[in-house]
Amino acid sequence: MSDDGKLIVPEPSERDVHASQADIDAERGGRREIDRIHAEVKDMSSGVRTFSTKQTQRARDLLARLYGLRRARRLYPPEHPAVGEAARELLQVVGEFHGEGTDVPLTFFEDEVLLGEQVLTEDSVLFDQLIRDMTAIGAGSVTFKRGVSADEMTRFANVIGARYDEVAGIDGGIATLVQRASIPNITVTSVNVVRDDVAVSETGDDEAARLTYANTVDLLRELERLIRQNQTLAVGHIKGTVRSLVDNILRNRYAMLELSGLKSFDEYTFYHSVNVAILSLALGSTVTRDYRFLSSLGVGALLHDIGKMSVELATLNKTTPLTSEEWAEIREHPVRGAEITTLTSGLDRASMVCVLEHHMRYDLTGYPIRALPRPQHVTSRIVAVADAYDAMTSQRPYSAPRMQDEAMGIIVKNAGTALDPTLVRLFVDTLGYFPPRSMVLLSTGETAIVVSPSPSDPMRPVVRIIADPDGTLTAAFDLDLSRADDAGGRSVVRCLDPTGMNVDIADFL
């Protein structure tokens, strides 16, 4: 911005890659290939962790004992023998699962109960009251981890035995009760689940989207602390956070896509992981609205770089070229991440595979190299597209960010080699060639900020004009460039670097 308050629009710089309209058109259409992606997603059941028939049948006894413990604590004080007996009975059933090498994750939402990712259809009918009681107090997810003791189970009774009005009157709700109970081997969290019939909205609760984003960044900070201290990850917290991301993507996609443009140089890994999760879920939601698929995808996307949290910070933040040993350490992060997630009980196999495969490339020339090559999992291919885009548009210790249209051009150019061409096609349609939060120069010389993509033309987004052709700031107003009567002949020429113009995008959104 000049001394007289006008925007100074820089001349276009030389770019490594440009994608023409013909390039973009070549990546659109192709119903057969999109159907192939749909078929892979439909077959995701093979990649989701399942429990045996014997275990799902045992879940009925588990739920009965859980209901019995809640009822006993509602009727008697915690020291009453009936509470202790109910806790021991529940621990006995939980112990049978633990003896088979598995934790016991239960989820309650609306009128269903799940064991892991499996809906217990008959038990959902039989235990309708328990489901309503658990969701009412905010205990939407309960996981009994291996190592839980009888004393913990008794203290757990104080959590699930609480009345709704008691929980509502406590600052922090169910989370505060859990903290007071001191039950490290029992995870209790609330969940936010979206069904397949939820309509995508271009508007919605922006504050909810911002809160979800902030909470997810906080989760990543906590995960790094736990990993660097060799402590166990809280699977319930991870899954609950991802469910909130899924909820916001399905209800308010454009608000979340706008937030995915947030960057932090000092906390690149955290913001990058959250942005990749948002972009992956936005792309995944164009393929399917299935909650379980999106949940598994979101966890894998959020944790895709978790292996970097065990790499020396000096290596991650190095501004000069890496040595061969340092580069080898960086390339090892997918394997390290897979090892961390494999040791984290309760994560879906598809999420773990995604962490391992996100740098393998569509043509399998990436890393790590498989002894027996096979195609990348569909979740891995989705995350690869999102990862590439956000990495290119972020300021990193060793490279400056690329403009959004330049990054999108490189994405398109790599379709069919590094990236799945069908998913690239859907990604461009989802974000537009000029994604939200991009500052752009219009053909009229005006300066604008992209508010949202157009569902009909990725080259013509909805923009907010902020400056006249001479650079004078104006009262901002929105135009849909895909509508001829709105656009008035305007089109986007290229993206601009707001930092070079002394402009804060957030001031105009």
Which residue(s) pair with 480 in the sheet? 462
What's the CA angle centered on 372, arms 368 and 376, to 5 degrees?
Answer: 60
pTM of the predicted model as reported, rounded to 2 decimal places: 0.68
Q: So what's the pLDDT on residue 70?
A: 94
User: In this structure, what DSSP letter does residue 415 have?
Assistant: B
Is the per-residue pLDDT at 110 higher than 70? no
In the predicted model, is pLDDT for residue 371 greater than 80?
Answer: no
CATH for 21-48+200-431, options being 1.10.10.200, 1.10.3210.10, 3.40.50.2300, 3.10.20.30: 1.10.3210.10
Q: Would you place residue 290 in the very low, low, confident or very high pLDDT band (cuts 50, 70, 90)?
A: confident
Pairing of strands 141-144, 118-119: unpaired
**Tell me, what's the pLDDT at 395?**
82
- DSSP string over 56-114: HHHHHHHHHHHHHHHHHHHHS-TTSHHHHHHHHHHHHHHHHHHHTT--EEEEEETTEEE
- Supply the pLDDT for residue 486: 84
Verify cis geometry, omega within 30 degrees of 0, for the bond prior to 461: no
Residue 191 pLDDT grade (very low, low, confident, very high; cuts 50, 70, 90): low
Q: Which strand ranges, in their side-by-side order, compose the sheet holding 447-452?
A: 473-480, 462-467, 447-452, 439-442, 492-496
pLDDT: which is higher, 508 or 18: 508
193-208 burial, b at 16+ Cβ within 10 Å, e below that, comes to bbeeebebeeebebeb
Question: What number is the average pLDDT over the span 356-382?
Answer: 91
143 three-state secondary structure: strand
**pLDDT confidence of residue 203:** 44
Mapping DSSP to helix (H, G, I), strand (E, B) and coil, where does residue 399 land? strand
**pLDDT value for 30:** 55
Can you tell me the mean pLDDT for 302-321?
86
Mean pLDDT across the stretch 372-393? 92
For residue 189, what pLDDT is reported? 83
Residue 504 has pLDDT above 90, yes or no: no
In this predicted model, what pLDDT tens digit does every residue of 126-148 receive, in sequence order? Answer: 998 999 889 888 888 899 999 99
Question: Is the pLDDT score of 401 beyond 90?
Answer: no
The rounded mean pLDDT for the chain is 84
Alpha-carbon distance of 129 to 451, in angstroms, equals 45
pLDDT for 49 equals 54
pLDDT band, residue 208 (cuts 50/70/90): confident
> Which of 153-167, 311-325, 429-443, 464-478 has the weakest average pLDDT?
311-325
Q: What is the pLDDT of residue 15?
A: 41
Among 168-172, 323-327, 496-500, which range has the highest average pLDDT?
A: 323-327
Structure tokens that stand for 441 in this block: 């120069």
In this prediction, residue 506 has a pLDDT band, given cuts at 50, 70 and 90, of confident
The predicted pLDDT at position 193 comes to 43
Which has more pLDDT, 362 or 109?
Answer: 362
Average confidence (pLDDT) over 159-185 = 87
Rounded to a whole number of angstroms, the distance between the first and last alpha carbons of the chain is: 19
Domain map of the chain by residue range?
A: 21-48+200-431, 53-189, 439-508
pLDDT score recorded for residue 201: 45
User: What is the model's pLDDT at position 46?
Assistant: 44
> How does residue 353 score in pLDDT terms, banded at 50, 70 and 90?
very high
pLDDT digits (tens, 9 = 90+) for 242-265: 988 998 898 888 788 888 877 776
Identify the band that residue 17 occupies on the pLDDT scale cut at 50, 70 and 90. very low
Tell me how far apart the alpha carbons of residues 462 and 482 are, in angstroms, rounded to a whole number.
Answer: 8
Q: Tell me the pLDDT band of 34, cut-offs 50, 70 and 90.
A: low
Q: Classify 164 as helix, strand or coil.
A: helix
The C-alpha atoms of residue 458 and residue 18 are separated, in whole angstroms, by 15
Q: Which residue has the higher pLDDT, 121 or 89?
A: 89
In order, the DSSP letters of 117-136 are: TEE-HHHHHHTHHHHHHHHH
Checking DSSP bridges between strand 104-109 and strand 141-144, what pairing results, if any?
A: antiparallel
Task: Tell me which residue has tokens 């391992």.
Answer: 356
13: confidence class by pLDDT, cuts 50, 70, 90: very low
| pLDDT level of residue 47 (50, 70, 90 thresholds) | very low
Q: What percent of the chain has pLDDT over 70?
A: 87
